[in-house]
Amino acid sequence: MLQCTAVTRIPLGEVTVALVTMADGPGTPPHDFTLDHYVLCELGEHDALTDHAALLSAADAPDRPALWFFWTGTDTDRAHRIQTEPWCPATLRNLDTDALLRCSFFNDHTTGHSWDVTDPLGDLIAGPLLSDGTTDDPRERPQP
């Protein structure tokens, strides 16, 4: 499934306070942690009843609950909440490499697991690279 395309501007002050006061203790953001003003919904395409969701806290502690930003609606009628959620327990084993992939979404998410979601933007970027090895920047291709 394709990734949801919803984008929203996050309230930086509110998010920073939430990160510092996470239930699991302060100091979660690493030194180089910077917040984007805008976050992208990370879930697969979903209906209007499902909240959009973006991961806020750094994922350097995989077993600890992570801080998520949930929202519905667009900028003018947006409703949002910031809360910690445990990780989705689902895992996928790659039989070739025997690597275990963890779902990177929160527990009880509604759409497919993270490995079922394709980022359309990532595909656009990766496509020309895979099909044409002569240039590493598709934007610099000469016009035909």
> Is residue 100 within 8 Å of 62, Cβ to Cβ?
no
Q: Which of 40, 55, 58, 90 binds Zn ion (CB under 5 A)?
A: 90
Of 58 and 90, CB closest to Zn ion: 90
Q: Is the dihedral of CA 6, 12, 16, 17 positive or negative?
A: negative
Of 61, 63, 40, nearest to 117 by C-alpha is 40
Instruction: Provide the 3-class DSSP secondary structure of residue 138.
Output: helix
* Smallest distance, Zn ion to C-beta of residue 109, A: 6
Of 67 and 106, CB closest to Zn ion: 106
Q: In the window 43-82, what residues touch Zn ion (CB under 5 A)? A: 43, 52
- Residue 95 — left, alpha, or beta (φ > 0 → left; ψ -120 to 50 → alpha)? alpha
Of 8 and 29, CB closest to Zn ion: 8
Residue 41 touches Zn ion, criterion: CB under 5 A: yes
- CA 6 to chain CA centroid, Å, is 11
Tokens of 37: 């003003």
* Smallest distance, Zn ion to C-beta of residue 40, A: 9
Residue 117 touches Zn ion, criterion: CB under 5 A: no
Residue 103 touches Zn ion, criterion: CB under 5 A: yes
Which residues contact Zn ion by CB under 5 A? 4, 6, 41, 43, 52, 88, 90, 103, 105, 113
